[in-house]
Amino acid sequence: MTDKEVFISRLRHAAAVRVVPPRRALVAVDAVPPRVEFAIDTEGVDVFEAALSAVGGTVHRAADLVAARAVVGEVIGTRSPVVLGCEPDVAALELEGQRWPHCGLRAAAEAAVTVVGCVAMVAVTGSVVVDARLARGRSISLLPPVCVVVARSSQLVASPGDVLRHREDFWPGRVPSQVVFITGPSRSADIEMTLTRGVHGPGELHVVVVDG
């Protein structure tokens, strides 16, 4: 037999002898994984601000919604058009702009700035959590080049696990179709490690934290 025939013969023999591994017994696991503790102080928003600033985001403080309105107005400046989210705190600011979702997807795509709310803030990662249910869709926080998020200091949690572990507190009954953790402005890098902002989302992210 030639070397080729020997090789093929071995392959045929191996294919004919099929080894079925024994089934592994299912091991019962706890329904809720143990909590991961972080050695940080998350009583205030200082940890959140440091984490978000480290990835290029900006945190603004406001004592109440009146102060928040002034802060958001300064961030918007002369940029236009502006699209406003449908969250209660955003509506309470009484800003001038088109209202989502009534303005439609085209308005969100053409907006210079959007102002939205969030479900939670994550201290250890500097993330804001948005969902498709409260925001009535994700396009408003994804398409414009500048996104301003209005949040309450009471929405601060320590880690992403605190949101996922206690999801019933945030989404009673059923989790929305989309839950997204936004950590700073959109950042993309090519094979040469050239970092570009704003390719897959806003290139500028501001979080206005309202006390209480």
pLDDT tens digit string along 21-60? 677 776 666 666 666 665 555 557 899 999 999 999 999 9
- What is the rounded distance in angstroms from the CA atom of residue 9 to the CA atom of residue 129? 59
Ramachandran sector of residue 181 (left: φ over 0; alpha: ψ -120 to 50; beta: rest): beta
Residue 31 is predicted with a pLDDT of 63
Residue 17 is predicted with a pLDDT of 65
Superfamily of domain 43-210: NagB/RpiA/CoA transferase-like (3.40.50.10420)
Question: Cβ of 13: how many Cβ atoms within 10 Å?
Answer: 9
- pTM of the full predicted structure? 0.78
Residue 165 is predicted with a pLDDT of 87
Q: Are 151 and 117 in contact (CB under 8 A)?
A: yes
Q: Domain boundaries in the chain?
A: 43-210
**Under-70 pLDDT residues of the chain:** 17-21, 26-43, 212
The b-or-e profile of 154-185 (16+ CB within 10 A means b, else e) is ebbbbbbbbbeeeeeebbeeeebeebbebbbb
Residue 60 is predicted with a pLDDT of 96
Residue 6 is predicted with a pLDDT of 83
